[in-house]
Structure formats: structure tokens, C-alpha cells
Amino acid sequence: MARLGLAVCAAVCFHLCILISSSSSIPAETGSHAVRRTAYHFQPAKNWQNDPNGPMYHNGMYHLFYQYNPRSALWDTGNLSWGHSVSGDLVNWAALPTALDPTSPFDANGCWSGSATILPGGLPAILYTGIDSRKQQVQNVAFPKNPSDPLLREWEKPARHNAVIALPADVPGDRFRDPSTAWLGGDGLWRTAVSAEVDGVASTLVYRSSDFLRWERSAAPLHASRAAGMVECPDLFPVAEHGRAGLDTSANGAGVRHVLKLSVMDTLQDYYMVGWYNDTADAFSPAEPERGDDCRSWRRLDYGHVYASKSFFDARKNRRVLWAWANESDSQADDVARGWSGVQTFPRELWLDEDGKQLLQWPVEEIETLRRKRAGLRRGGTRMLDAGALQEIVGVASSQADVEGLFKIPSLQDPEPGGGREAGRRPKPAAGSPEAVRREGRHRARRRRAVRAPRVGLRRPARAHRRLLQGVQAPRQVQTPHVH
């Protein structure tokens, strides 16, 4: 955080404990692809992953789809597919075959980001961006080939209907993507939000449909700003004004506020605004209008390398859960040598703060199942640490540890000078300059960050789900929380 440099503070009052997880369930993999693999964070067995897509809870199973390159540890080698894994507890995951692959004219050059929606009757549907044979971005739909399959292993892309949303005439071919989870309005029509650049203005468009196949654009965008540049991965979801209970994505009315989250290419950060959503006009009214329409002045969702977040309503535990991509910052050569790139943050529960303006978040409670023994700096007490001090933690013998720190800081200056717009943000380079070219290239490869930890095995799923997962290849990993 800007202006909060704990490393250079004179002293802080500090208490630390280490929560140690067992690493003996399955022997760690050896070989080049196992080098520096993460331990708790979700990642496929190998290759590139980025945006989380279409997380959902359906028929007793959690599903996570994600942007995946099945051929390489790099983003731009080959075309992207949708990876797919399932879990009974958000902690232990089993890998399935890819759900969507670029096999049709409407997605011939890649199956890019999108969302999943549970339709009436329990049928899941996927909306996603396809890069078509002309390399234009269009929006497509997919449905399970066998809806009774609890793992939803195969998906169909109806050629008769796709693309369900064609490229608009006022939008460039490479500036139209990332349909959100759909929601039902009071008029019974489905709505989805899509990121676009309309006549040079970064816009979040709303489309309506009665059947999930034919979509019409609403007259006005949900949000628009000329200042921020292209935004991506919109997420509009309701939160209760009081309490931690999550809400179905279509909830609205008294006691409900909405959150609009946008991912900004210029900063590779996620920002959000709390407000109210009117489904008659498809209009969003911010709770903090003084922050302006430039979403870089909105509240930051996270202060790490976290991008393209996606939330879903977990009907099993009545909560809203957030996934996000933690990207790499080392070289492409390192990614290739390592055999993988990118992890997902540990899923977090989201709810509204009492002030009605900001979100609170915490790792989902299932993280406790990973914690075993405890080792503390000093139990039941505190210790003063000077700047740069080193303190050995005795009793950490495991190959992985989850650090929980409590800080008492005498004073804290505003971590977001200027309302947050300048925090952690470099000046925008001049158009056409070498830095501008490098920055666009970094976006294309989505500047990345790894969280390093030794790899350990996957603990066995709960008995109720083991039968479903028989014969399914499981990536041997568990996850750690992503702490900021």
C-alpha cells in the first residue's frame, strides 16, 4: 500500500503464528514441471492459466472454469480453451477435460473469458467471448451435453444460434468481450453485461434476452468513462445491506445494494463501486459519486497482483465467493522452463461493510481444513520488531506454512492518496512511445505473478464425492490462502 511501508517503520507491535499443514498425503512430484509449484493455490497440472471463468455451485459440486492454454505455458502460443475442475469443498480439486475448445467458426481463434448462469430448472449455461475466424470478438453460448452428468464433463455450442451477440457496428473488433453472469430483471428478461469500447469510450453494455439465445442491447450503458481506457471482466452482483449472507445474482429491492466491479487494462487492477441498480432503466447509481466515473478512482479490490476477478453465489452455504487470477512477473523463458504460469487466489467470501460503501472479504471457512499444527513467535503475547529485524520461528518443520500476523500500528496514513487513483499506478506513457508498446505487450501476455511454495499432495475428497470422481484425473495439489 502506498505510504504504509512496514519494512521501514521504526517499530511495530507484532504477534505471529504459523499454521502448518501436513505434506505427507501424496509424495511431491519430481521433474521440471514440479519446480517451485504452489501448494494450496489452484492451478492445473501444467501450462498457462489466467482469468477464472464461470465459477458455480451445481448439484452438490463446485465448478471452476478458467482460461487455459493446453499446449503451452505461454498465453500467446496457440489458442485459449476453458479449463475445467470440480470440487466438493473448494479446497480439493479434480481436473476434467477442457470444457470449451476453439473448434467452430465463431471461436476459431480462441475461447476467451465469460461466465456461467444457472437457468430455471437448474440447467447451467455458459456465455463466453469467441475470437471468430475473422479475429473479431463475439459472444457465444454453450450448454451441457448431458445435464444429468453431475460433473458436466461435455459442453455443446449450438452452431444454429452462435454467435448469440454479434460485434456491434460502433465497437472495434478487438474491444468487445467478457460477458458477465446473467441476472433476471423484474420484467422476466435475462441481462448480461459486456465490456466494450464504444466510439472511443470505455463502456459496460447491457444486453437483454427472453430465451438466452437472442439478445438485444439496452439503450444506455451500465457505466461509461472516456478516462480509464478499455475495461474488462465486468461483474455486477447484489449484496445485503446488513449481515454476511450472500444473495442470488438476480436479487434486488429493499435491503439490497449492488457492486459493480471492473478490471482495468491500464493498471492491471480490479476496482469496484457499491451502489444501487435499477433494472427498469438498467442504470447503476454509485454510493460514492464523488469518486467520479473513472473507475481507477474507485475502491481497489486487492493490493496485490490480482486481476480479472469473478464472483458467484454459493447456494450451498448462502454466501458470495470470489475467485481471482494472480499473475506472474518473471520472464516468459522462466515460464517455459517451469512448465506453468499463473495461479488462482484462494476463494474468498465477500460481504458489505456497515458503512454501505466498501466490501469486506475473508478466505472461505474451508481453509481451516488445511491447517494442522501451530507454531508461534510468542503465544499469548506481542513483540516489538525494529525495521529490518529478523526473528526465527521455532517449530516449523513442514514444507509449507500459512502465516497469520496481527499488527498494532500507532498511526496509519491514508493508504490511497488522491482517493485511490494514484495508489500503485505509474504515469501513463505517451501513445506510440516504447513504454506504451511494452505496456500493451504486457497486457497481451497479462503481466504475471507467482506465489512460491513447495508442492504437496491432494487430500482425499469427502466420501460423498469420491464415487463421482472415480476415474477422473486429479491434479495433486491443495491450496494456500493469498494474503495481503
Catalytic residue ranges: 51
Q: Distance between CA atoms of 108 and 124, rounded to whole angstroms?
A: 23
**Helix or strand or coil: residue 45?**
coil
Instruction: Give the residue from 116, 348, 351 showing the smallest Cα distance to 238.
Output: 351
- Integer Rg of the chain from CA: 22
CA-wise closest residue to 345 among 403, 305, 318:
305
DSSP 196: E
3-class state of residue 294 by DSSP: coil
What gap in Å lies between CA 342 and CA 307, rounded to an integer? 11
Q: List own/partner pairs for 387-392 with CB under 8 A and 24 or more apart.
A: 387/7, 387/8, 387/9, 387/10, 387/11, 388/7, 391/16
Gap between the Cα atoms of 359 and 274, Å rounded: 8
Distance CA 78, CA 81 (A): 10
The grid coordinates of residue 104 equal 467452430
**Residue 163 preceded by cis peptide, ω within 30:** yes
Of 36, 33, 40, the closest CA to residue 458 belongs to 40
Q: What is the 3-state secondary structure (H, E, C) of 46-95?
A: CEEEEEEEEEEEECCEEEEEEEEECCCCCCCCCCCEEEEEEECCCCCEEE
Question: How would you list the strands of the sheet with 61-69, edge to edge?
Answer: 93-100, 81-87, 61-69, 47-58, 340-341
Listed as own residue / partner, the contacts of 435-439 with beta carbons closer than 8 Å and 24 or more positions apart are none
Q: Provide the grid cell at 162.
A: 452462435
Residue partners of 65: CB distance under 8 A and separation at least 6: 52, 53, 54, 55, 82, 83, 84, 99, 100, 116, 126
